[in-house]
Structure 1
Amino acid sequence: MSNIVYLTVTGEQQGSISAGCGTSESTGNRWQSGHEDETFTFSLLNNINNTGLGSQFHGITFCKLIDKSTPLFINSINNNEQLFMGFDFYRINRFGRLEKYYYIQLRGAFLSAIHHQIIENQLDTETITISYEFILCQHLIANTEFSYLALPENYNRLFLPNSKNQTNNRFKTLNSKAIGRLLAAGGVYNGNIEGFRDTAEKLGGDAIKGYDQILNEKTAGIAIATASILLTKRSNVDTYTEINSY
């Protein structure tokens, strides 16, 4: 049996959905100290394939304990609420202790299905399927990572909105290389490469390094090639002139 995956969820409308999910009020005698504001996830499936014409991302399906967040997830799917999600994976290290070794972050996530399972002699669980517009995967021990941006029309919604109920500080740290790459893609998509680069510089940290991995003087041609793809969505002459000016 795998170790529990701890899920943190923030909703655009409801704020911190996972707050209090790991308490005794939420999970009974299965509560865990130090994980009071996380949801216990027992399995996760991330489906990606490639048919030779590019990768296809089919969303994530995960199974979690029925807890305080269960009605809130139903609210989310009913209202088509945008979610920001973080999955923390643990394993036993060589010293026999639990260590957090893997992390998945989703932005622009939307619920597409919820299935409740109440079965004799088994834990009460629910299986949730989600789609997403941005995914970041990091191996925290081996120091490798992957990120993917689907270039949504409403690019700005990938950033966590201000919320009075927001308690998750992880999503507030927007100065990593992944965020820099995200800004670079946004700069191409919005035809404002210099403006988005200025934003990366103001964020500080590694944001500008991530930006320059995608867009710099040596990779200017990449921006033009990407822009030609985006013309299928923004096909007017003014947009074409704006993008190719970079």
Structure 2
Amino acid sequence: MPTPCYISIQGETQGLITAGAMTVDSTGEIGLEGHEDEMLVQQFLHNVTVPTNPQSGSPSGKRVHKPFKFTVALNKAVPLLYNALSAGEKLSNVELKWYRTSSEGKQENFFTTSLEGAVIVDIECEMPHCLDPSNESFTQNLTVSLAYRKITWDHVSSGTSGADDWTQPIEA
């Protein structure tokens, strides 16, 4: 089973969109201490590519950042995410924190992905077929796709980082 990651989203108009998303009132289950203002990410997908010449392997175009997609269970932040999509609200800060079990047996944030200048470009809500017994452990899910201006990857534990702002030229 993958280790969890949590996402927090700050909108320029609505403020902290994920405020209270992991509380009992929001999830209907237990709240997660220390993660009350984040959403538990069920699935994540992101792809960055560089077009290349198939014969030589040489770059043939500018890098392409595909939508940053994450899936969460329905919670109190969902209506606010739809508001942000409908209004084209800029998201001033999106932060995805990845966790692992430390050598002391505790959860530690070892990797962080941050987005700047993000906007929601797609939301897909899905409920697995409720009469299919193989779906018993699933719930209603929301997949959110984000476009963004800048992305930063930080390996918190080792202190390494990388970033890409597609509005800036790449320097060697």
Match among 73, 81, 85 for residue 73 of structure 1: 81
Residue 217 of structure 1 aligns with which residue?
none
- For 1:97, the aligned partner's letter is K
Residue 102 of structure 2 aligns with which residue?
93
Q: Does 1:9 align with 2:6?
A: no
d(CA) in 1 for partners of 2:166, 2:49: 15
Q: What's the offset of the Cα at 1:56?
A: 1.2
- For 1:99, the aligned partner's letter is E
* Unaligned residue ranges in structure 1 (runs of 5+): 152-184, 190-213, 215-221, 223-246
* Unaligned residue ranges in structure 2 (runs of 5+): 52-58, 131-135
d(CA) in 2 for partners of 1:14, 1:93: 35
Q: Which has the higher strand share?
A: 2
Q: How many residues align?
A: 155
- For 1:134, the aligned partner's letter is K
TM-score between both structures, scaled by the size of structure 1: 0.60
Q: Does 1:55 align with 2:70?
A: no
Deviation digits for residues 204-246 of structure 1, max 9, x if unmatched?
Answer: xxxxxxxxxx9xxxxxxx7xxxxxxxxxxxxxxxxxxxxxxxx
Q: What's the offset of the Cα at 1:3?
A: 2.0
d(CA) in 2 for partners of 1:35, 1:145: 24
d(CA) in 2 for partners of 1:18, 1:106: 15
Q: Which has the higher helix share?
A: 1
- For 1:146, the aligned partner's letter is G
Percent identity for Structure 1 against Structure 2: 26
- For 1:127, the aligned partner's letter is T
Residue 156 of structure 2 aligns with which residue?
140
Runs of 4+ in structure 1 deviating by more than 3 angstroms, as ranges, are none
- The CA RMSD measured in Å over matched residues stands at 1.7
TM-score between both structures, scaled by the size of structure 2: 0.84
Considering Cα pairs closer than 8 Å and 6+ residues apart, tell me whether 1 or 2 has the greater RCO.
Answer: 2
